[in-house]
Amino acid sequence: MTFSDSAYAAFAAQGRGVRSPEEVSALMKLTPLGPCIGVSVTDIEPRQLGDSDTAAALGEALETHGVLVFPELHCDDASQVAFGKALGEPDVFPIPTGDHAEIFLVTLDPAKNPAASYLQGTFFWHIDGATDDVPNMATMLNAVGVADNGGGTEFCSTYASWDALSADDKAKYKDLRVVHSMEASQRLVYSDPTEAQVADWQARPSKEQPLAWTHESGRTSLVLGATTDHIVGMNRDEGRQLIDHLEAWATDERFVYHHDWTVGDLVMWDNRGTMHRALPYDADSPRLMHRVTLAGDEAFA
Ligand SMILES: [Fe+2]
């Protein structure tokens, strides 16, 4: 059974409707980008993304493949937001940066994004919302500007890396709990923080999460990333060694899709079954992403 087959089997076990390849091909063309993560979506127009049938088929493809790549789609903000609303509930930002309060600008330019310094943390593998009860369901980036050098984005399937573990390892890890914190992720960026920085990080609540998250679908994914602090009930050094070992396992190239951006690309990832990271780029680079983030639909369990 291939990785995609196992995902479809999970849909079927739940009695959820999965469109046949013929039904999907009437709406769009799907081309897998690797054995376990990523699918290219073509033969589709931006205005179709908000259509309920199309969005539902894309939602199924997202859960199956982890990452949807729409090469050079050149999606406008309205179509991007409509797609988000057709699939879930987009986060709304109190200070809109354009015509749509659902669009967040991802740039290292502090003039365009006052929270640019926090984006330094996105250069490390992470899950969006790992310190929350319910992580974000999905996130999409629309490339308005791209870096001249670097600035790619990498994604790894945390379903595939769990599935590939031996039965013995699964038995050892399945009940472990891990504390995630903002402090852990920021210490990767700032090795010598000020007292004020540490106080700010520690003011944000940490959260205990399962290492192995068994979803309502029956599939299991690893919950790791930059926010991992320590394993509950384990010697701190021993716990860090295990976290580092599993992080290296989960981000091995066989589980990874690497995306080099072209202006107009739209990429969406299923945050429930993937980790992602940005690759470094210059702070004065023209790289600018319009991001829509969908609220979570399933708590860590
Ligand atoms: Fe992120």
Tell me, what's the pLDDT at 231?
Answer: 98
pLDDT class for 96, splitting at 50, 70, 90?
low
CA of 278 to the centre of ligand 1 (A): 8
**Structure confidence by residue, pLDDT tens digits, 3-51:** 666 776 776 666 666 777 788 888 899 999 999 999 999 999 999 999 9
CA of 12 to the centre of ligand 1 (A): 30
- Averaged over 74-103, what is the pLDDT? 90
CA of 290 to the centre of ligand 1 (A): 13
Which pTM does this prediction carry? 0.93
Tell me, what's the pLDDT at 18?
Answer: 74
CA of 273 to the centre of ligand 1 (A): 13
- Averaged over 127-148, what is the pLDDT? 96
- Averaged over 265-281, what is the pLDDT? 96
CA of 258 to the centre of ligand 1 (A): 15
CA of 271 to the centre of ligand 1 (A): 9
pLDDT at residue 180 greater than cutoff 70: yes
Tell me, what's the pLDDT at 97?
Answer: 67
CA of 241 to the centre of ligand 1 (A): 24
- Averaged over 67-93, what is the pLDDT? 96
Q: Are 228 and 122 in contact (CB under 8 A)?
A: no
Tell me, what's the pLDDT at 103?
Answer: 94
Report the range of poorest mean pLDDT among 7-16, 49-58, 128-137. 7-16
- Averaged over 201-205, what is the pLDDT? 91
Top pLDDT among 89 and 13 is at 89
CA of 178 to the centre of ligand 1 (A): 19
Tell me, what's the pLDDT at 3?
Answer: 65
Tell me, what's the pLDDT at 99?
Answer: 81
Tell me, what's the pLDDT at 42?
Answer: 97
Q: Are 225 and 127 in contact (CB under 8 A)?
A: yes
CA of 21 to the centre of ligand 1 (A): 31
**Structure confidence by residue, pLDDT tens digits, 211-235:** 999 999 999 999 999 999 999 999 9
Tell me, what's the pLDDT at 11?
Answer: 65
CA of 214 to the centre of ligand 1 (A): 22
pLDDT at residue 113 greater than cutoff 80: no
CA of 231 to the centre of ligand 1 (A): 22
Tell me, what's the pLDDT at 210?
Answer: 98
Tell me, what's the pLDDT at 16?
Answer: 66
CA of 3 to the centre of ligand 1 (A): 24
Closest listed residue to residue 34, CA positions, set 72, 66, 1, 81 = 66
- Average pLDDT score over the chain: 92
| CA angle (117 as vertex; 113, 123 as ends), nearest 5 | 110
Tell me, what's the pLDDT at 4?
Answer: 65
CA of 169 to the centre of ligand 1 (A): 28
Report the range of poorest mean pLDDT among 92-101, 182-191, 207-216. 92-101
CA of 136 to the centre of ligand 1 (A): 10
Top pLDDT among 221 and 94 is at 221
